[in-house]
Structure formats: structure tokens, C-alpha cells
Structure 1
């Protein structure tokens, strides 16, 4: 426990929990600043110095929280990957039937791409970090998890396990590309219309698979 003095000279006891909470808040500020810098400049264009300036912390404090730029980028990236997988999981939790499963999954991808004005989409899919295999592995693992979730739902809806898994990987990849195109094109049509168009394409093919 540490004793400090307030402006009025009153003693204030700083506990280990207080210090831990302050550190956690500082870490969140750093992560938020890093996200903005990575989105604006990409991995290679971002610098730890600019991140420290945006976070209003010194570089020693920054390195006290993260070992380097890759560590910080990976932390920001993982949050968006968790959000992407979580969106798919939440979307599928209450669905019944194959067509509803497809619609909720497609909508979840469009929502992810559209979230935070595309920040997550940019970090996950448009910021290459070629010198760091662990970053690519994180993305691949998250996409595989999304496909596994969709495949399990298609299987439960009556599709045989092999077709369910094969279709799930195709649906995840195609949804990702369709949502990216819609976003990169400047959202030319309402999101619900883009989702409906994508679902119609998928369902025409899926409806013939047993």
C-alpha cells in the first residue's frame, strides 16, 4: 500500500488493486490509440512514437505494457478477431433451419466489415504483416473457427457432415469477399439489400445439396 497526499493534504491510500486498475486503464488507452494509428497508417507505416503520442504516455510506459509493435498489433488484431468470431457465434445461437443459418451468418460478416467504419476489416484483412507468421496464423485460426461454427449448424440442420463442412468454408470465404466488395465500393446499396443478394446467391446453390 502506498500513501499519497491530495491537494488538501489529506492522506490517500493507494492499494495494489488501485494500481492494477490504473494500469489496466492505461493499457486500454494505449490499445485504442494503437488501433487508430494502425488503421490510419498500416502496420509498416505506424510507429511506436506516434502511438505513444496519441495515447499521451511516454515510450518507456508504452514498452512497459507491450514488448514491441508486433505485440501491440497482435493484441489489437486479436480483439477484432474475437469480435468477428463472437458475431458469428451470437448470430447462429438462436437460428433454426439452413436458410436462416446462412442469412444470420452473412449478416454477421457484413456487420463486422461495417463496424467502426471498417477499422476491424482493415486491420484483419488489409494490413499485411509479412514478416510475422503468427499474425497470419491468428487470422487463419479465426476464419477456421467461423467455418466450424457454421458447419456445425448446417450439420444440425440435416446436411451430412462432409458437405456441411465444405459448404461452411465456402460460405465464410464468399461472405467475407462479398462484404469487402460492398464496403470498398462505398456501400452503394443498403446493407440489408447486400445481405439479401448474397444470401440469394448462396441459397440457390445450397438448396440442392443434401
Structure 2
């Protein structure tokens, strides 16, 4: 194998093992054994487990962000954007299950970074819509975090259940989000304050 081929092999093995076992439970010995190489080969290419993990996470984040960017690039009504965003994540969960597991497993920082990045990409779209409807566009950051977080959390749940079907899950997510967004109070207040 060339050095580039070996590196790609190690990334593929790392993706699979990190998805199955998580970062903490994965050892450099296991990674090397699964790739049928010696430990020094893993160190040579990545400096260790952390370096390999970082490459795997970066690639997965890029994969899912590309899906979201493509889904949102077409524009359209707010409901159409929500539908495409929900389906983009559920498609990723279904088609790149190992990648989603890597991002959502016991990996401090990476999953929250992913959610934050997705929310930032959605924020400008919401901000434009908020301005058009007389809402404070600065609040788009809060709502984009809530919406993306909701879809991502449901994606984690759906990964394990796969029921109901993807289209129904997406439709229900969009219905909940869209119903809430369409009835936003421009100046909400708590109705029952704590004592």
C-alpha cells in the first residue's frame, strides 16, 4: 500500500472502531490490529489515537455539513427549508450510521461543535425570515440552536429505534417546529414564575 492508501485505510478502520466502541474505549492496539499494521504505523500517520480521531471527526462534520448546505441552498419557504434540513440529518443517520455514531458518541466537544456549526448555518436563514415578519433578527441564533438541537437529538433517538419511518419522523419534527415558529410571540413572557 502507498502511504496515502494506508492513511485512508486507517481512517476507515478508525471510523468503524470509534463508532462501535467510542473514543475512550478504543485503544491504539485495537486500531492497529484491525488495520493489520503495527502500532508505530498508526503513530507515524496520525501521532496517535487522538490524531486519527480528529481526522475522522473532521471528515464526518464536513460530510454532514455538506448535506445541510445542499439541502438549504435551494431556498424556498420556511417549511420547505425545515423539511429538507430534517431529512438531510435523517438521511445522514441512515446512510452514514458509523459517522453519526462517531459524532454523537462519548466524544466531548465534537458533537456540540457540530450542532453549533449547523445552527450557525441555519441562523442567517432564520434571521432573514425574522426580519421579514417583524421579529428581532438577533433572536435567530437562539431559535436556530433550538431547532437544530431538536432535530439532532431526535436523530440520536431514531438511530436506535428506526421507527416510525424516516419520512414520518421528519414530518412530525417539521410540524412541531413549524407550528411553533408560525405562532411566535414577538415579546414572550413567563406566565408562571417560580416562587
Query: Which TM-score band applies after superposition, normalised by the shorter structure?
Result: 0.7 to 0.9
- Could you say which structure has the larger radius of gyration? 1
Answer yes or no: is the 8 Å Cα contact 2:72–2:84 preserved in 1.
yes
Q: Which residue of 2 aligns with 1:163?
A: 139
Runs of 4+ aligned structure 1 residues displaced above 4 Å come to none
State the shift of 1:94 in Å: 0.4
State the aligned residue count: 181
Q: Which residue of 1 aligns with 2:183?
A: 208
Q: Which residue of 2 aligns with 1:109?
A: 89
State the shift of 1:141 in Å: 3.0
Q: 2:150 aligns with which of 165, 171, 174?
A: 174
Scaled by the length of structure 2, what TM-score is found?
0.84
Answer yes or no: is the 8 Å Cα contact 2:89–2:152 preserved in 1.
yes
Scaled by the length of structure 1, what TM-score is found?
0.79
Q: Unaligned 5+ residue runs, structure 2?
A: 187-195
Q: 2:112 aligns with which of 136, 140, 146?
A: 140
Within 5 A, what are the aligned runs for 1:12-161?
22-116=2-96, 118-128=97-107, 136=109, 138-157=110-129, 158=132, 160-161=136-137
- Bigger relative CO (Cα 8 Å, ≥ 6 apart): 2
RMSD: 1.9
Q: Unaligned 5+ residue runs, structure 1?
A: 1-20, 129-134
State the shift of 1:63 in Å: 1.1
